[in-house]
Amino acid sequence: MPIRRLPERALHDRTELYAVLDAGWVATLAVAAGDRAQVVPVLYGRDGDSILVHGSTGAGTLRLAAAGRPVTLCVTHLDGFVYAASLFESSANYRSAVVEGVCERLDGDAAHDALHMLGERLMPGRSAEVRANRPKEYAATMVLRLPITDGAWTAKARAAGPSHEPDDDPQVWTGVLPIETRLGTPVPSELAAARGIPLAASIVARLFPDR
């Protein structure tokens, strides 16, 4: 099925930004440190108008973020290679979001709630299947909330076929080679395999949401 050409475009609507954020699980978190940018990949989840990230209390970049250093969080989805009739016109389909701001470090009940939200985003339904975190485990985990502020985010997307020019070679195939990300077949731990434990219901529901 041929695809329709849509332009590369900036997304101006929070609904579109949130769709980009909600389609991913991993981001880069960057802070300036002198004349360098310090960058670490993080798992994240959107919670309303904020982004939650967590990590070990020992992680350097997260500690700078927790101390109030401005952060830049970037999420990118590479959706396909766009094969045009020249390399110059060739491109990529993608969705990306950049959110800047200052994180708030969460404590107490707010941290517990945020870890629960983040867990549900990353492993939906799992928290009901496993024991609660212990106090020393909460203490070892840093949870940060990055508010999504007007004027402090950008999002872009390209979802289109190639550009054509009048003098393109008409015999060259042009189009899009999609890149797909999907969940694979669950692999049990040695213990779960040895005991014959059935696959977690939360994973069954995640893999087959329509059943």
Using CB under 8 A, which residues numbered 182 to 211 contact its own copies?
182-195, 197-200, 203, 206
* Closest CB 18 distance from its own copies, rounded Å: 18
**Span from 7-15, 45-53, 75-83, 142-150 in contact with its own copies (CB under 8 A):** 75-83
* Closest CB 144 distance from its own copies, rounded Å: 15
CA distance 126 to 158: 34
CA distance 48 to 44: 13
Taking the CA atoms of 158, 46, 129 and 138 in sequence, report the sign of the dihedral they define. positive
CA distance 120 to 145: 16
- Quick one: which of 17, 21, 66, 84 contacts its own copies (CB under 8 A)? 84
**Span from 10-18, 44-52, 85-93, 142-150 in contact with its own copies (CB under 8 A):** 85-93
Q: Which two tokens stand for residue 106?
A: 């969460």
SS3 116: helix
Q: Which is nearer to its own copies, 15 or 171 (CB)?
A: 171
- Quick one: which of 16, 18, 25, 121 contacts its own copies (CB under 8 A)? 25
Show contacts with its own copies in window 45-64 (CB under 8 A). Answer: none
**Residue 47 belongs to what H/E stretch?**
strand 36-47
SS3 2: coil
Number of residues binding to its own copies, judged by CB under 8 A: 93
SS3 167: coil
10 forms part of the interface with its own copies (CB under 8 A): no
* Closest CB 71 distance from its own copies, rounded Å: 7
The residues pairing with 105 across neighbouring beta strands, listed in sequence order, are: 144
Show contacts with its own copies in window 122-181 (CB under 8 A). Answer: 122-123, 126-127, 129-131, 133-134, 137, 140-141, 161-162, 164, 168-181
* Residue with the two structure tokens 């005991």: 195
43 forms part of the interface with its own copies (CB under 8 A): yes
- Quick one: which of 13, 35, 109, 150 contacts its own copies (CB under 8 A)? 35
List the end-to-end C-alpha distance of the chain, in Å, as a whole number. Answer: 28
Q: Which is nearer to its own copies, 109 or 180 (CB)?
A: 180
- Quick one: which of 8, 18, 63, 70 contacts its own copies (CB under 8 A)? 70
Burial (CB count within 10 angstroms: exposed 0-12, middle 13-18, buried 19+), residue 192: middle
